[in-house]
Amino acid sequence: MHAAVGLFGGRAYDGVSVDDLVSHLGVHRNSLYKTFGSKRGLYLIALRRHLTDDVRPLLDALAGASDAAAALRLVTSADLRLLLLATIERAPVDAEVASEVKAALAAVDQAIADALGVPSDLAAALTAAALGILLRGNPDNATTALARHIDPLP
Amino acid sequence: MALIRIDGDDLVVVIEGLDKLWSFKGSLTIPLANVRGATADPGIASGPKGIRAPGTHVPRVIIAGTFHQDGETVFWDVRDPSKAVVVELADETYSRLVLQVDDPRATVALVENALS
């Protein structure tokens, strides 16, 4: 499943063929269909695995963040490739993906709100900024510049 | 070629034209509850298909009919592998259907949306 998370996090959903899955996961095509029902079935399980393996530890780490700079750095250094791709590509066309993504992002907002003692809308803005920085390739001065303006938080 | 549509709580597959003859099947009606998913899979036609009974297999021309492999029964109707869609079933005579459709992307969306 780790290989599936890597595949789906590395390229567009349509760019991952069943041939790719069969060769990277080391399973037979028939057993892939038998186990997961469809490529989408496998994708949903990979997405949930990503949320457990990569997003859950981020939430735990965020609980220990003392300021906005620390929270931003934790999010921008996490492996969130599949979550980002799912948000952009699959959530608009797949209600089940949309609800997973929404819940995961809300959990990140909540973790930041709890750790920093800030309102949830400000926490959501910090999450959005951090994901934006991550999308742009994490230029370090962006995090520093932003944190300088918002720390210390109330 | 196959036409796939959703009719109430059923998935209905209609085999078109002479493929009816080659595949020994005109149509299939499967309760959506027994449909596990659909996947566009152009690569499946190049893999092993098992033993046909009854059906027609002329390599690179047509794969049609019922095939048995590894204890599974699979229905095929494919001439152009680039348009193959795999429909996985449960508690049916067929374990899966491999069908050529006009628009694989639209067919997959139709089936997956009917399931969720």
Taking only the tens place, the pLDDT of each residue in B4-36 is 999 999 999 999 887 777 777 788 999 999 999
> How many alpha carbons lie under 13 Å from residue A72 in its C-beta half-sphere?
25
Across all residues in chain A, what is the average pLDDT?
94
Q: Is A38 on the interface with B (CB under 8 A)?
A: yes
Q: Is A92 on the interface with B (CB under 8 A)?
A: no
Residue environment code for A87-126, b if the CB has 16+ CB neighbours within 10 A, otherwise e: beebbeebebbeebbeebbebbbbbbbebbebeeebbbeb
> How many alpha carbons lie under 13 Å from residue A46 in its C-beta half-sphere?
27
Note whether B39 contacts A17, CB cutoff 8 Å: no
ipTM over 0.95: no
Q: What's the topology of domain A2-150? A: Tetracycline Repressor; domain 2 (1.10.357)
- Average pLDDT of B45-67? 82
Count of Cβ atoms closer than 10 Å to residue A128 Cβ: 13
pLDDT at A140: 67
Q: Is B112 on the interface with A (CB under 8 A)?
A: yes
pLDDT in tens, A39-79: 999 999 999 999 999 999 999 999 999 999 999 999 999 99
Confidence at B49, pLDDT banded by 50, 70, 90: confident
Note whether B88 contacts A37, CB cutoff 8 Å: yes
Q: Is A8 on the interface with B (CB under 8 A)?
A: no
Q: Which residues of chain B are within 8 Å of residue A40 when distances are taken between CB atoms?
A: 37, 39, 108, 112
Judge whether residue A153 has pLDDT over 70. no
Break chain B into its structural domains and give their ranges: 2-115
pLDDT at B64: 86
Rounded to two decimals, what is the model's pTM?
0.92
Search chain B and give the residue with CA nearest A28.
Answer: B47
pLDDT at A149: 84
Break chain A into its structural domains and give their ranges: 2-150
